[in-house]
């Protein structure tokens, strides 16, 4: 493989970029994008070789636009990344926590640190991006203002960390898909993602899922999304353990094809360790 360029949504220092460096070498080139759709466009145009797409958060749930884009574009899921989200209170060098009166960040980050913010009587101020709030604070210093963002953002913009791990819930993880135009090499511990639509008849979903149950294939996620071109019809996004080339998985997919109205395989990829496997229950 030649030079790797990974597209991500947000400013430099975003949690998506932190996920890039968790999966790829630290010297990997990254490409900031204004929107999730731009990630897909960057890969298709050749400006990037891969993309880091947030797919769900353990506290906020699924990111619906990401699922819609996976259906719309013909990219492959290359890998899965699970990032522990660690929020930091960042301020200009020389600032003390006693000076802080206001904190600025993305609304979701503010919500995830709500108890911490209230305990310090900080005034929360919504901003379009976590890393963007850090960058703007560095460019326009304000002695009573702090930003909530990643430690990476603090390093990139020369801010000091006044406090770390300030999120209310310690088990705060975001799951990402690494996207590519190619399939990844097959690994022993694989996971497969598919999207399908059922026929509008009784037992349709039951029969589709039965193809996996009959072969003892473990499902790790099942989520429905409205079909945008058919009101009151739904698509089902399904993750299961195994690679599509494994005989039992291949037979299950063939059975799904016979029973469903539509099936698209989004990719078979190396499964990321679960938080329980990596944290050992220490938090």
For 85, residues 6+ apart whose C-beta sits below 8 A from its C-beta are 15, 57, 112, 167, 172, 173, 174
Residues 6+ apart with CB under 8 A from 63: 36, 54, 55, 56, 57
- What residues act catalytically? 174, 176
Whole-structure pTM value? 0.92
Residue 53 lies in a domain: yes
User: pLDDT by residue (tens digit) across 4-13?
Assistant: 999 999 999 9
Question: What's the pLDDT score for residue 278?
Answer: 52
* Residue 200 is assigned to a structural domain of this protein: yes
Helix 64-72, helix 36-45: angle, nearest 10? 30
pLDDT digits (tens, 9 = 90+) for 40-91: 999 999 999 999 999 999 988 899 999 999 999 999 999 999 999 999 999 9
Residue 237: which domain range?
Answer: 190-270
Helical pair 247-259 and 204-213, crossing angle rounded to 10 deg: 170
The reported pLDDT for the residue numbered 60 is: 84
pLDDT value, residue 280: 46
Same domain, 80 and 108: no
Asked if residue 159 and residue 92 are part of one domain, the reply reads: yes
Question: Rounded to whole angstroms, how far apart are CA atoms 149 and 242?
Answer: 36
Quote the CA–CA distance of 246 and 186 in Å, as a whole number: 10
Closest by Cα among 174, 180, 194 to 63: 174
Domain count, the chain: 3
- The CATH number assigned to the domain holding 64 equals 3.40.190.10
Task: Note whether residue 258 is domain-resident.
Answer: yes
Can you tell me whether residue 32 is helix, strand or coil? strand
pLDDT < 70: residue spans in the chain: 1, 276-283
Q: Of 125, 117, 66, whose CA–CA distance to 87 is shortest? A: 117
């Amino acid at each position: 493989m030649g030079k790797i360029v990974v597209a991500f949504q947000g400013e430099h220092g975003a949690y998506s970029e932190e996920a890039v460096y968790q999966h790829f070498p630290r010297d990997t080139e990254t490409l900031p994008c204004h929107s999730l759709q731009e990630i897909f466009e960057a890969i298709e145009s050749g400006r990037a070789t891969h993309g880091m797409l947030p797919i769900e958060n353990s506290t906020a749930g699924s990111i619906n636009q990401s699922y819609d884009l996976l259906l719309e574009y013909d990219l492959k899921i290359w890998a899965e990344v699970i990032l522990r989200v660690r929020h930091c209170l960042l301020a200009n060098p020389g600032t003390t926590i006693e000076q802080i009166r206001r904190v600025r960040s993305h609304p979701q980050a503010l919500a995830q640190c709500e108890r911490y913010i209230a305990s310090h009587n900080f005034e929360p101020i919504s901003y379009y991006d976590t890393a963007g709030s850090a960058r703007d604070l560095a460019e326009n210093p304000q002695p009573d203002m702090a930003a909530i963002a990643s430690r990476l953002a603090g390093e990139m913009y020369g801010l000091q960390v006044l406090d770390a791990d300030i999120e209310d819930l310690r088990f705060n993880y975001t799951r990402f898909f690494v996207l590519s135009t190619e399939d990844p090499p097959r690994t022993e511990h694989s996971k497969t993602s598919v999207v399908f639509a059922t026929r509008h008849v009784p037992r349709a979903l039951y029969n589709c899922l039965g193809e996996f149950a009959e072969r003892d294939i473990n499902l790790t996620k099942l989520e429905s999304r409205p079909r945008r071109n058919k009101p009151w019809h739904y698509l089902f996004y399904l993750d299961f353990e195994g690679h599509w080339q494994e005989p039992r998985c291949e037979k299950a997919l063939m059975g799904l094809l016979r029973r469903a109205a539509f099936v698209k395989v989004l990719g078979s990829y190396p499964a990321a360790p679960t938080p329980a496997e990596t944290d050992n229950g220490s938090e």
